[in-house]
Amino acid sequence: MPLIRIDVPATLPTESWRQAVEVVYEALLSEFRVPEHDLFAVVTSHEPLGLQIDRSYLGVARSENAVIIQITLNAGRDVALKRAFYAAVADGLEDRVGIKKSDVMISLVEVPPENWSFGDGIAQYAPE
């Protein structure tokens, strides 16, 4: 059910895109227990003016390599799970892709289950 959107600077090599998606997907599996094979992701590359990120908001020092991750998913997870998820993604991106934790911004967009259609014009998660 999650839809992953990752906005990256044009300087991030395209071979790193799949790894970034894998890191986020693995964190969704481990921390949020999303269903296996529920992988839908969009990665978009931006030139410098297309990805404008403050370098010091909230005291976090960000570089020109900062990324924005937005995930639309069903509502209902508590703050502790979200914190564990944020840490898993930031740690994984630093370890496997080389993106510093301070360069990872994550936004969760929570929606009710009936807001999804996975094809055929059907709201698969909507109550009858």
CATH number at residue 15: 3.30.429.10
Say if 127 falls within a structural domain.
no
The count of domains in the chain is 1
Q: How far apart, in whole angstroms, are the C-alpha atoms of residue 58 and residue 91? A: 19
Query: Residue 75 in contact with residue 30, Cβ under 8 Å?
Result: no
* Mean of pLDDT values over 84-98: 98
pLDDT in the model for residue 125: 87
Q: SS3 string of 3-70?
A: EEEEEEECCCCCHHHHHHHHHHHHHHHHHHCCCCCCCCEEEEEECHHHCCCCCCHHHCCCCCCCEEEE
Say if 43 falls within a structural domain.
yes
Residue 87 has pLDDT above 90, yes or no: yes
* Mean of pLDDT values over 72-88: 97
Say if 57 falls within a structural domain.
yes
Which residue's entry shows tokens 């931006």?
Answer: 46
Say if 52 falls within a structural domain.
yes
* Mean of pLDDT values over 47-59: 95
Residue 127 has pLDDT above 90, yes or no: no
Q: How far apart, in whole angstroms, are the C-alpha atoms of residue 20 and residue 98? A: 10
Query: In the numeric block, which tokens belong to residue 99?
Result: 């993106």
Structural domain boundaries, residue 28: 3-115
Report pTM.
0.93
pLDDT in the model for residue 4: 98
Say if 126 falls within a structural domain.
no
For the stretch 98-116, pLDDT in tens is: 999 999 999 999 999 999 9
Say if 123 falls within a structural domain.
no
Say if 15 falls within a structural domain.
yes
Q: How far apart, in whole angstroms, are the C-alpha atoms of residue 4 and residue 28? A: 10
Mean pLDDT of the chain: 96
Say if 21 falls within a structural domain.
yes
pLDDT band at 66 (very low <50, low <70, confident <90, very high): very high
Q: How far apart, in whole angstroms, are the C-alpha atoms of residue 39 and residue 60? A: 30
- In this structure, of 59-73, 92-106, 113-127, the range with the lowest mean pLDDT score is 113-127
